[in-house]
Amino acid sequence: MSSVEENILGKLIHEKSLLHKDRVFLFYKDETITYEQLDIMSNQFANRFRDLGITKDDKVAIMMKNHPNYLYVWFGSAKLGAVEVPINTAYKGDLLKHIINNSDSKLLIIDSLLLERLLVIKDELTGLKQIICHGEIDKDISNALPVPISSMDDFFGCSSELPGVDLSPSDPAGLIYTSGTTGVSKGVVCSHNFFLHSAKLVSGLRDAGSHDILYTFLPLFHMNAQILTIMTALVSDAQVVLSDRFSASSFWDEIRKYGATQFNYLGAVMTILAKQEPRENDADNPVRIGFGAACPPDVMKQLEERFGFVCLEGFGMSEIGIVIHDDINARKTGSCGRVLHDFFEVQLVDDDDMEVGVGEVGEIVVRPKKPYIMMSEYYKMPDKTLESFQNLWFHTGDYAKKDEEEYFYFVDRKKDAIRRRGENISSFEVEKVINTHPKVLESAVFAVPSELGEDEVKANVVLKPLETLPPEELIMYCNERMAHFAIPRYLEFVQELPKTPTDRTEKYRLREAGITENTWDREKAGFKITR
């Protein structure tokens, strides 16, 4: 693996463009982007950013769906030494405001269809100086916003010269916000070296090279697509197929069309693929590796036999990258792998940070052996940073077991996180919205099992005395204030919540009860939400 001195994103892109030039880097629908075009266009965007007053360490927020222009924004900001702040395109309301404000973003790049999200929070955006619209600008929305808006069209045709900014591998390249599973969303500061070291590590473990075409349907605002596809392809001299979204019916057609040899997945996706009707040509595909997490073992076996590829699982998170990974030549059913490198120490510990024995459940804790190969800090949250590195180990908040051969087996999340169809959901954030309803006294949001292999969201709600509230009304209230994937599928109105003597809700009791005869299911009721 290359030394830390080489790990600067803009430098890598330029070097690869000189090496490959006319070789296609990205396939998007019927459009192709070469390595050289990627370099030239990201230079143009970097120089336009500089014209707008963006300088080293400034934050550039990006709220865009998958599109080649996302890469120009991302890499253009990196070449200038600015810091990308990717925002989930489903976010709205308080969470969207929090990320823009907390990150100190001066510039927001946003899809035109998402512009109206800003109207609700327009008077509470504290540091935003400029908005760049990707697509046609709605004049009514533009006139209603206090921040000037210009078009991304102005970026094309700017100077293609390298910006020439002096950067270090330790400089921040990304500010990635967590989903807020244990409270308010935290900004994870990721250096250039963290990004590229993680990609080189994954590339080696997956044996990626110039012969590979990496396919992703995952959104570019997620670390998964950024590191495990885009950056892994860059460091491997490989190619990328970027899809708009996951579609079970067209997944294998796209794989075959572009000749993709690897793809990334999330557990629920694999279950959905396994449920598709068999075809005669199922095994006739170019894929050799699927990489992801949380695929049920029986589903994995079925897919490998049916489609003829190998599933590799791993464990990681935004703060640490991938630290545990399957060995392609020595996998174990149900395991997420082993520590296959010498860059991290990984242990399982109890609540007193004492290492647990073989077969015992403990929290996964990690510490690096080299500088800048995991997050630098939580942005503007020194107390949270210190707390996460308790006793000099980073605490992941996830439980696992380990066998005699050092294979890890994921058990559960330590806190009340929910994972639904690949999205991490904060019970705290969902409760916060529900509890603002004028008829609600309090609520508890928790995970219940999904038939797709991950979680569904359930909310137990206590109403104020003498109040009544149709479940449809509460769901519509949520629909207007939170991402679609976080909206509870199940609602149950209860007289009270189980509490500890210190007034903490005992969510484990709610999870044990799960779905009851008094639970309302919006899917069974046929109630539709809007996205």
pLDDT in tens, 177-235: 987 545 678 999 999 999 999 999 999 999 999 999 999 999 999 999 999 999 999 99
Helices 9-20 and 35-51, packing angle to 10 deg? 140
Listed in sequence order, the residues at least 6 apart from 376 whose beta carbon sits closer than 8 Å to its beta carbon are 170, 172, 189, 190, 191, 194
Average pLDDT over residues 330-350: 94
At residue 411, the pLDDT reads 78
Decide if pLDDT at 333 tops 70. Answer: yes
Lowest mean pLDDT among 125-129, 298-302, 426-430: 426-430
SS3 329: coil
Average pLDDT over residues 382-394: 96
Q: What is the pTM of this model?
A: 0.83
CB distance 409 to 400 below 8 Å: yes
How far is the C-alpha of 179 from the C-alpha of 83, rounded, in Å? 19
Q: How far lies 480's CA from each of 93, 437, 470, 471, in Å?
A: 9, 12, 16, 15
Decide if pLDDT at 432 tops 90. Answer: no
- Could you tell me which residues are beta bridge partners of residue 367? 345
Q: Using one digit for the tens of pLDDT, what is the confidence trace for 117-138?
A: 999 999 999 999 999 999 999 9
Full set of structural domains in the chain with CATH: 4-191 (3.40.50.980), 195-413 (3.40.50.12780), 417-521 (3.30.300.30)
Lowest mean pLDDT among 47-56, 238-247, 322-331, 413-422: 413-422
At residue 499, the pLDDT reads 78
H helix runs in 206-316, sequence order: 223-225, 232-236, 251-258, 267-274, 297-307
CB distance 318 to 176 below 8 Å: yes
CB distance 144 to 116 below 8 Å: no
- Could you tell me which residues are beta bridge partners of residue 310? 289
At residue 503, the pLDDT reads 59
How far is the C-alpha of 408 from the C-alpha of 322, rounded, in Å? 13
How far is the C-alpha of 227 from the C-alpha of 333, rounded, in Å? 26
Distance in angstroms between the alpha carbons of the first and the last residue of the chain: 43
Decide if pLDDT at 3 tops 60. Answer: no
How far is the C-alpha of 478 from the C-alpha of 259, rounded, in Å? 41
